[in-house]
Amino acid sequence: MFDFFWNLGSFIIALGILITAHEYGHFWVARRCGVKVHTFSIGFGKAIWRKTSKDGTEYVVAMIPLGGYVKMLDERVEDVPTELVNQAFNRKTVWQRIAIVAAGPIANFIFAIIALYIMYIVGVPSIKPVIDSTRINSPAAIIQVNEPQQIIAVSGQKVRNWEEVNLALVGHIGDEQLDITLAPLSQIEGIEPTGKTYQIDIRQWQFDPEKESPITALGLGIFRPGIEPVIAMITEDSSAEIAGLMVGDRILSINQENYKDWNTFVDVIQTSANKPVDIYIERGNQRLSIEVVPKAHINEQGDTIGIVGISPTQAQWPENMRFDLEYGMIDSITAAVDKTWQLVTVSFKMIGKLFTGDVSVKNLSGPISIAQGAGASANYGVVYFLGFIALISVNLGIVNLMPLPVLDGGHLLYYFIEVITGKPVPEKVQEIGFRFGAALLLMLMSLALFNDFARL
């Protein structure tokens, strides 16, 4: 229940910030173009807070935080007094109207740059993207890894952590090949590494993003520090808790067999559903034998396995693999702009590949997935939350630029047609377009929600 409210609260905060940025873009440019603004609202429905400024603009925070709007003076929807006609939106030049409508998505891109700028100033704790193996019969199998290798570039694009590797790989979905540049981790720190580039055939590269990352699907073995046989966490009401195991217990043996590694230990547990197993542990200065009966659990493949509800202790990452991704006051601007541009290009590629079929519509995410992402990022800390809302801000800006008449992109389409033809698109044509756009948008939202519920 706590997770639900944490995710919900994080989602509302993130969405509120992004909607405010988007609508403020419309508002600010409209005022600069001399348009009278009636209402600036964050959210829909009943107002929970409102204030009217001296110039007559009403500022509102409404109960349903799933959108917002800027209501402007417009002769098409209301009677306008003669003395205010020059302040009506519809009386402005087509280029002014284009500027006002485009300002919303542009504000989202600017906000992403600001969020990333702050993130890079503060610094993001990161892990170097190091691999220690490649999987047989995978696209990456052509890479021979004899010692830990750091990925330093993907198709010429420099990468510094796993998040950047993941983003770079996603942009190649549906392509025929990609390049990965590797350098030995053992190279001297502080010297620009000179790596070896491998050309990987990815025509048969397929993966389910719900089950694996593009990194592991490509066949790259991510380097991970070892696992210590010390219990780090025990699930409430689990077999382990009932039997009396405690956090900090060191596992010495199971069923009289000395502990070898965590995978072997898990195998014994999983094949012992509803059967007692003897776990010999060290607790402080004591050594104890504890009988545990793993509970039966049906996994995703439909098989019955045993689980006891414990997690081991993971060893610390080596010092030479940990770093803070941060820049100075000036360099952070360049890094933030560059990262925003990467997000924009990858997002446009993904939209294009949705239409070509290279990316499945199953990958569409709705508000539930976004809420879970907001909660997870907020749980890791402010810098991760900033990175998350920068990503969502970019996506919000791009979605609004789609040429659907109910979105900003649809309005821009009509206005550019007006620029070319010299006259506005007939209102009947606009109305038909709005209905079509609303139906298509509703279908996409329904599909995204369906995917969300399917993932729960």
Within 13 Å and on the Cβ side, how many CA atoms surround 208?
A: 3
Closest of 298, 373, 284 to residue 13, by C-alpha: 373
Closest of 38, 108, 26 to residue 74, by C-alpha: 38
Quick check: is 236 catalytic?
no
Taking phi first (over 0 means left), then psi (-120 to 50 degrees means alpha), and beta for anything else, what does residue 335 get?
alpha
Q: What is the CA radius of gyration of the chain?
A: 27
What is d(CA 11, CA 20) in angstroms, rounded to the nearest whole number?
A: 14
**Is the distance from CB of 225 to CB of 317 less than 8 angstroms?**
yes
At a CB cut-off of 8 Å and minimum separation 6, what does 331 contact? 120
**Strand locations in 164-243, DSSP E?**
177-184, 196-201, 220-222, 227-234
At a CB cut-off of 8 Å and minimum separation 6, what does 378 contact? 6, 10, 13, 384, 385, 388
DSSP H or E run through 314: strand 310-314
Q: Are strands 250-254 and 277-283 parallel, antiparallel or unpaired?
A: antiparallel
DSSP H or E run through 55: none
Pick the catalytic residue from 23, 78, 241, 427: 23
Catalytic residue numbers, as ranges: 23
